[in-house]
Amino acid sequence: MIASDPDAGQILTYSILSGNTGSTFSVNSSTGALTVANSATLNFESTPTFSLVVKVQDNGTGLLSSQATITINLTNVNESPIIANQAFSVSENTANGTSVGTVVASDPDAGQLLTYSILSGNSGTAFALNSSTGVITVANSALLNFGNNT
């Protein structure tokens, strides 16, 4: 922030009066430099805009001050999808094509399409995963024989 005082020799002091949800920002009281103090609270999906009421005050007789509103607009960035560990059960020798379950995941960014894939643990490709829906199906029932795969 930049402020000036027509009276020569005045020392200006800057402060944030309101709108600083979560103590997201801080202002250097001597220079007026506005910085991010708590980046964890910067989330476009929950708070896309901050409206800070700031004050600058001089050190002259009467301690005169002025206020202004500073608007800070966040730019949306793509966040990672969210998935938790999940467990499914299937009987041995279940027929190929049988649904085992559906992987549940979400994306904090509205309108994003998720793509699912199996990264490891699918010995012999016993299972198939629909990359669009997250539905797991039996792909090779011969591999689901507990007696042969221990």
Q: What is the pTM of this model?
A: 0.64
Per-residue pLDDT tens over the stretch 39-88: 999 999 899 999 999 999 999 888 899 999 999 999 999 999 999 999 99
pLDDT value of residue 110? 84
CA gap 66, 144 in Å, rounded = 75
What integer pLDDT is reported at residue 124 of this predicted model?
86
pLDDT at 73: 98
Classify domain 82-148 at the CATH topology level.
Immunoglobulin-like (2.60.40)
Judge contact between 90 and 98, C-beta under 8 A.
yes
Would you place residue 148 in the very low, low, confident or very high pLDDT band (cuts 50, 70, 90)?
A: low
Q: Is the pLDDT of residue 150 over 60?
A: no
CATH of domain 13-73: 2.60.40.60
Give me the DSSP letters along 54-70.
EEEE-SSTT--EEEEEE
Residue 93: pLDDT above 90? no
Most confidently modeled range among 7-11, 44-48, 101-105, 111-115: 101-105
Question: How many other C-beta atoms lie within 10 A of the C-beta of residue 134?
Answer: 17
What residue segments make up the domains of the chain, in order of their start? 13-73, 82-148
Q: In the predicted model, what is the mean pLDDT of the chain?
A: 93
Give the integer Cα–Cα distance in Å for 106 and 87. 17
pLDDT of residue 138: 97
Give the integer Cα–Cα distance in Å for 41 and 47.
Answer: 8
